[in-house]
Chains A and B, each alone.
Chain A
Amino acid sequence: MTKSILGNLLTIIEESSGAYSIQTLARELDVSPERVESMLEYWIRKGKIESSTNLTECGSCSSQGDCPFVLEMPRTYELVIDQYHLSDPDHQIFCTHH
């Protein structure tokens, strides 16, 4: 049975041993990087992946919430911990709820 591209995307991330860039994923799936972003959005909606951008607030000094030391960091997408570890019986013991 041929797996869907969406399914493949999730499998690649689940089975990866390190960070992936959108561009590498796009090459691996033979689709555009925009398509990968769109598919990641799909998995976010389904609750399998969550995304985060860097924090831009600090507010503990004179910068008053607009800290110049906060670097603009890229958006990251990550497997939702519960989902990831529940699918792996070896990791169930460490499952956290949030």
Chain B
Amino acid sequence: MTKTIALAGNPNVGKSTLFNALTGSHQHVGNWPGKTVEKKDGYLRIGEQEILVVDLPGTYSLTAYSIEEIITRDFIINEKPNAVIAVVNAANLDRNLYLVTQLIDLDIPVIVALNMTDVARRRGLAISLKGLSERLGGIPVVETVGNRKEGLEDLINAITMVLKFPHTGNIQTSFSGVIKEEIENLRAEIEDQEFLRESYRAGWLATKLLENDQGVINNLESLKATELLESARHARRRIETQTGEDPEILIADQRYQFVDQVIDSAVERPRERIITRSEMIDNIVTHRIWGLPIFMLLMWFVFQFTSNVSGPFLDWVDLFINEFIFKWTVRALGLMGLGNSWVSSLITDGVIAGVGGVLVFVPVLLFLYLALSIMEDSGYMSRAAFVMDRVMRWMGLHGKSFLPMIIGFGCTVPAVYATRTLENEKDRKLTAFLATFMSCGARLPVYVVFGAAFFGAASGTLVFAMYLLGIVVALITGFVMKNTVYKSQPPAPFVMELPPYRIPRPKDVWHQMWERTHGFLVKSGTVILGVSVALWLLMAIPAHQDTGLFNQVQARDSLFGRISGLVAPIFKPAGFGSWQTTGSLVTGILAKEVIISTMSQIYAEESIPPGEITSSFGEDLVSVGKGFGQAALLTIQETINIIPRTINLIPFMDLGELDFFPAESAIVDYTRLEGSLLTAFTRSAGSPDAGSIAAVSFNVFVLLYIPCVSAISAMRQEFGRRWMWAQISYTFVIAWAAAVVVFQMGKLIFL
């Protein structure tokens, strides 16, 4: 008769790898009868003998809570395999041996396959196979590394031995006190009844009855074992009275204690440091008091790095697109006889100004994503959520809400979907609502261009202030809503896995940086290109026949200019009531990057057109290459300069900064768009200082106003039309009010 062995173990311990190694190509894959869980079996040939090997579903225990547990348990009890191979992750015995104790309780021959021993060794664990075997009642224990097929021969030898001389371990003695007493009493009662003795292992059945296992109780009811069930009920009550705890919990607890004893006697761990390096860092980084300031300081570094360090490359890309590409495209169009035609205008004023205006910010995003990826890969991002939990709770919000909000720093859309991890519907809606205030990557170019134009080297501070303001507005909104319209239960406490700190892997960091920037590039080539062309058309169509002809009309007299001009007065109290800014904000609802592309198109008209070409294509190319080299050097300079700039935040500190090109940097240099914005805002606000305040007010509005179309549709999809309109209305009102307060208060204080 064919003998059967079963493979059991926790999920992800290499059970399937070992199954494949044992059975080779002799496998059959199907489903467990009546279940959707996959069943795999195959044959192992040992000499002339063919043994059926069944791969059981991965499970942590043999209780009856999940379908995997029930399948595994029923198979062992009903099919009675000749032996069970318990596949165990040697690097995590604390977790894996719990199941082994339950398998041994079933009174069947068990072989422990200590898998992943290479990982355990790397962690400094020395496991005594003999010691482990002895503590587990003498069952065979063999070392394996499934993916390298190491230890396979030892395992096959152990199988041969167990099939010849079946031996079951006995660790029932692992129970103590009242649990042990009651198990023994029930065991004796079970062994006295033949029909039960034949169907069940007495010790296992006694334990299950004390655990109040419903599956087993139902079976016994159908077998009319009324007396035994009554005895079990009394036994459970006695335990509860004596200990004040559920017997099931006590049984599980004693198993854990037994596993502890086994590990203590059979495993030599490296001389343990009382606190690991990660814990030492966490003691500071997640400290109740220091945690938050450290988080703020790190964010400060991130935005200094993003806006200042990326500056030289931003200038270089701007020069490349708006000078080199623009100049030589105009020249090429001229040579084709298309100079001054609508085609030329579409390409230069539409596509290059619009898409090019946004592409200029690729270095900024690359540096932002570099900083965020380093924080993520090092393990700090999890700590940020952990630290913010205290602030969130203080505001009455769920600590877990900050996880989607952190995602919102990249893009609002996945942040809205990430709220699905919150169980409470009200928490979900509120978190999605607040996530839109987190400054997404698409808003960053706006802060950077205004920061550079109005605040020079302090532009990083503007960017940091905007991100901080987003968090503060979200928290205040959350606090108000949680105490008014969304009054609900206090958030349930939670536990978070904090991964150990590690040095970020360049490959992973690069991958994340590239993937995120790639998304931006794709958007530039699709959404922004489309909007740029549409906008060019609207700016080429005269609002009235008296104002000019198609493509020969002043921008302010175009259809776009006139419509924007109608809405503009709304923004007058906020300091930016021009048709140009209003038009940019309207198109910005499509995608926040479009604010910049629109401004580039509008102000392209007002910029000085490139002069007559005096240099050759080759000379310009050399100049572009030289500019790249300079930008690289300046990037190093700006990276180092973050240190004195941060130290200079301390009152009375004044450290000097590096300056690789003193003569050149003495001249304040702006990109074409920055220069146009500086002039336009100064002119509309009345003075350079008022212009700066209006610029901050504009940025506050961009931060808080209506999310982009994709985010709005995500809100509608997740929470319905009503919620979407509430979001649109609230964000518009709050953004307008905040911008007005900033401008009016700013004027009162600074002018």
User: Which residues of A approach B to under 8 Å, CB–CB?
Assistant: 1, 3-7, 13-23, 25, 31-32, 34-35, 37-42, 45-47, 50, 52-55, 57-58, 60-63, 67-81, 84-85, 91, 94-96, 98
Measured CB to CB, the closest approach of chain A to B568, in angstroms, equals: 31
Q: A45-B63, A60-B713, A61-B710 are in contact. Are A55 and B414 (CB under 8 A)?
A: yes
Q: Interface code B594-624, partner A: CB below 8 Å = 1, 0 otherwise?
A: 0000000000000000000000000000000
Contact of A94 among B95, B399, B488 (CB under 8 A): B488
Report yes or no: B421 in contact with A54, Cβ–Cβ below 8 A.
Answer: yes
**Please, which residues of chain B bring their CB within 8 A of the CB of A16?**
493
Flag whether B253 is at the interface (Cβ < 8 A). yes
CB-contacts of B388-437 with A (<8 A): 389-390, 393, 399-400, 403, 406-407, 410-411, 413-414, 417-418, 420-421, 423-425
| CB-CB nearest in chain A for B387 | A19
4 closest cross-chain pairs (CB), A and B: A69-B410, A68-B515, A94-B489, A4-B253
Contact of B498 among A13, A15, A23, A42 (CB under 8 A): A23
User: Which residues of B approach A to under 8 Å, CB–CB?
Assistant: 60-61, 63, 65-66, 69, 92, 94-95, 98, 243-245, 249-250, 252-253, 256-257, 260, 278-279, 282, 286, 372, 376, 381-382, 385-386, 389-390, 393, 399-400, 403, 406-407, 410-411, 413-414, 417-418, 420-421, 423-425, 441, 488-490, 492-499, 512, 515-516, 518-519, 522-523, 526, 710, 713-714
A-B contact pairs, 18 of them (CB 8 A): A13-B493, A19-B386, A20-B493, A20-B496, A22-B497, A25-B495, A34-B94, A35-B95, A45-B61, A55-B417, A60-B713, A67-B413, A69-B414, A74-B385, A76-B496, A79-B494, A94-B489, A96-B425
Report yes or no: A19 in contact with B494, Cβ–Cβ below 8 A.
Answer: yes
**Please, which residues of chain A bring their CB within 8 A of the CB of B249?**
4, 6-7
Report yes or no: A67 in contact with B411, Cβ–Cβ below 8 A.
Answer: yes
**Please, which residues of chain A bring their CB within 8 A of the CB of B244?**
1
Contact of A77 among B245, B256, B278, B495 (CB under 8 A): B495
**Please, which residues of chain B bring their CB within 8 A of the CB of A13?**
493-495
Kindly state the separation between the CA atoms of A75 and B249 in the bound complex, as whole angstroms: 24
Measured CB to CB, the closest approach of chain B to A40, in angstroms, equals: 7
Contact of A34 among B92, B250, B495, B522 (CB under 8 A): B92
Report yes or no: B286 in contact with A21, Cβ–Cβ below 8 A.
Answer: yes
Report yes or no: A55 in contact with B418, Cβ–Cβ below 8 A.
Answer: yes
Report yes or no: A20 in contact with B495, Cβ–Cβ below 8 A.
Answer: yes
| CB-CB nearest in chain A for B440 | A69
Measured CB to CB, the closest approach of chain B to A13, in angstroms, equals: 5
Report yes or no: B252 in contact with A18, Cβ–Cβ below 8 A.
Answer: no
Report yes or no: B66 in contact with A45, Cβ–Cβ below 8 A.
Answer: yes
Q: Tally inter-chain residue pairs, CB-CB below 8 A.
A: 203
Report yes or no: A61 in contact with B519, Cβ–Cβ below 8 A.
Answer: yes
Report yes or no: A18 in contact with B399, Cβ–Cβ below 8 A.
Answer: yes
Report yes or no: A96 in contact with B421, Cβ–Cβ below 8 A.
Answer: no
Contact of A21 among B66, B282, B417, B713 (CB under 8 A): B282
| CB-CB nearest in chain B for A77 | B495
Contact of A6 among B61, B243, B252, B376 (CB under 8 A): B252
Kindly state the separation between the CA atoms of A85 and B407 in the bound complex, as whole angstroms: 29
| CB-CB nearest in chain B for A19 | B389
Kindly state the separation between the CA atoms of A95 and B152 in the bound complex, as whole angstroms: 54
Q: A62-B522, A69-B519, A85-B489 are in contact. Are A3 and B495 (CB under 8 A)?
A: no
Report yes or no: B497 in contact with A75, Cβ–Cβ below 8 A.
Answer: yes
Report yes or no: B414 in contact with A67, Cβ–Cβ below 8 A.
Answer: yes
**Please, which residues of chain B bring their CB within 8 A of the CB of A21?**
282, 286, 386, 495-498
Report yes or no: A35 in contact with B94, Cβ–Cβ below 8 A.
Answer: yes
Contact of B420 among A55, A61, A85 (CB under 8 A): A55
Having A76-B421, A79-B493, one finds 9 other A-B pairs with CB under 8 Å, namely: A18-B390, A19-B399, A23-B279, A38-B98, A60-B417, A73-B407, A81-B492, A91-B489, A95-B489
Measured CB to CB, the closest approach of chain A to B419, in angstroms, equals: 8
Give the interface centre of B253, B393, B488 by most chain A CB atoms within 10 Å: B253
Kindly state the separation between the CA atoms of A35 and B95 in the bound complex, as whole angstroms: 6
Report yes or no: B495 in contact with A18, Cβ–Cβ below 8 A.
Answer: no
Q: A20-B493, A21-B496, A75-B497 are in contact. Are A57 and B252 (CB under 8 A)?
A: no
Kindly state the separation between the CA atoms of A41 and B452 in the bound complex, as whole angstroms: 52
Give the interface centre of B244, B250, B257, B418 by most chain A CB atoms within 10 Å: B418
Kindly state the separation between the CA atoms of A16 and B595 in the bound complex, as whole angstroms: 46
Measured CB to CB, the closest approach of chain B to A21, in angstroms, equals: 5
Measured CB to CB, the closest approach of chain A to B258, in angstroms, equals: 12
Report yes or no: B60 in contact with A38, Cβ–Cβ below 8 A.
Answer: yes
| CB-CB nearest in chain B for A1 | B244
Kindly state the separation between the CA atoms of A14 and B492 in the bound complex, as whole angstroms: 8
| CB-CB nearest in chain A for B63 | A45
Contact of A52 among B61, B65, B421, B523 (CB under 8 A): B421
Contact of A72 among B376, B423, B493 (CB under 8 A): B376
Report yes or no: A74 in contact with B417, Cβ–Cβ below 8 A.
Answer: no
Kindly state the separation between the CA atoms of A70 and B425 in the bound complex, as whole angstroms: 21
Contact of A70 among B60, B418, B497 (CB under 8 A): B418
Report yes or no: B393 in contact with A18, Cβ–Cβ below 8 A.
Answer: yes
Kindly state the separation between the CA atoms of A74 and B356 in the bound complex, as whole angstroms: 38
Kindly state the separation between the CA atoms of A61 and B286 in the bound complex, as whole angstroms: 35
Report yes or no: B253 in contact with A6, Cβ–Cβ below 8 A.
Answer: yes
| CB-CB nearest in chain B for A8 | B253
Contact of B256 among A5, A55, A72, A98 (CB under 8 A): A5
Measured CB to CB, the closest approach of chain A to B601, in angstroms, equals: 23
Kindly state the separation between the CA atoms of A68 and B410 in the bound complex, as whole angstroms: 9
Measured CB to CB, the closest approach of chain A to B374, in angstroms, equals: 13
Measured CB to CB, the closest approach of chain A to B68, in angstroms, equals: 11
**Please, which residues of chain A bring their CB within 8 A of the CB of B403?**
54, 73, 76
Kindly state the separation between the CA atoms of A70 and B518 in the bound complex, as whole angstroms: 14
Measured CB to CB, the closest approach of chain B to A22, in angstroms, equals: 5
**Please, which residues of chain B bring their CB within 8 A of the CB of A20?**
493-496
**Please, which residues of chain A bring their CB within 8 A of the CB of B421?**
52-55, 76
